[in-house]
Amino acid sequence: MSKEDFPGWHGTTIIGVKKGGEVVIAGDGQVSLGQTVIKGTARKVRRLSPGGYDIVAGFAGSTADAFALLERLEAKLEGLPGQLARASVELAKDWRTDKYLQKLEAMLIVSDGADIFVITGAGDVLEPEHDVTAIGSGGNYALAAARGMMDSERDAEQIARDAMKIAADICVYTNGNLTVEKITK
């Protein structure tokens, strides 16, 4: 099965918004398999505390693959406490070069409250230019909506919630059951 045929790529929206000294990562709860909704209340945004170091992560793609990546990220952070950027780069390098990891079908948005990154299986660790990033099937809708709200009076959480509502109204693989995690540094 090719990546284009993989059902997990067609189902979720995760957004990260950095504004006013905080970062909010929000994700919808829909799990789709092809054109069928399997579950509407999944938690795709999680708080991690490797070695007492608090981070928030959201994932799109295969759940099992995302959990494998989150475990590896936690292990990297155990060895590099307080260094999210470096741990993310190390994870991306492993993901790109390890034969087992190369097969994983997921993407991550991670934040420590100061920085926000998208980590991909192509070896990328991307820091958004405009303090907003999004992944998943509804990611571009949420990203565009959030970018349009960044100059408003809304805080990071309200921007994330409003952008996710817009994405859920447009993307059939995204619902309005949100998990929202806020982190400050």
pLDDT in tens, 121-165: 888 999 999 999 999 999 999 999 999 999 999 999 999 999 999
Among 33-37, 114-118, 136-140, 166-170, name the one with the lowest average pLDDT.
Answer: 33-37
Angle at which helices 139-149 and 156-170 cross, to 10°:
140
Candidate from 1-5, 35-39, 155-159 with smallest mean pLDDT: 1-5
Among the listed residues 12, 13, 133, 174, the single catalytic one is 12
- The CATH superfamily assigned to 3-184 is Aminohydrolase, N-terminal nucleophile (Ntn) domain (3.60.20.10)
Q: Where are the domains of the chain?
A: 3-184
* Residue 99 pLDDT > 80: no
The predicted structure's pLDDT at residue 130:
95
**Averaged over 6-23, what is the pLDDT?**
80
Considering the chain, what percentage of its residues have pLDDT values greater than 90?
A: 69
3-state secondary structure of 8: helix
Catalytic residue flag (residue 12): yes
Q: Which residue has the higher pLDDT, 146 or 67?
A: 146
Give residue 10's pLDDT: 52
Any alpha helices (H) in 61-132, and if so which ranges? 63-79, 84-97
* Low-confidence winner among 1-15, 59-73, 98-112, 166-180 (lowest mean pLDDT): 1-15
- For 154-166, what is each residue's pLDDT tens digit? 999 999 999 999 9
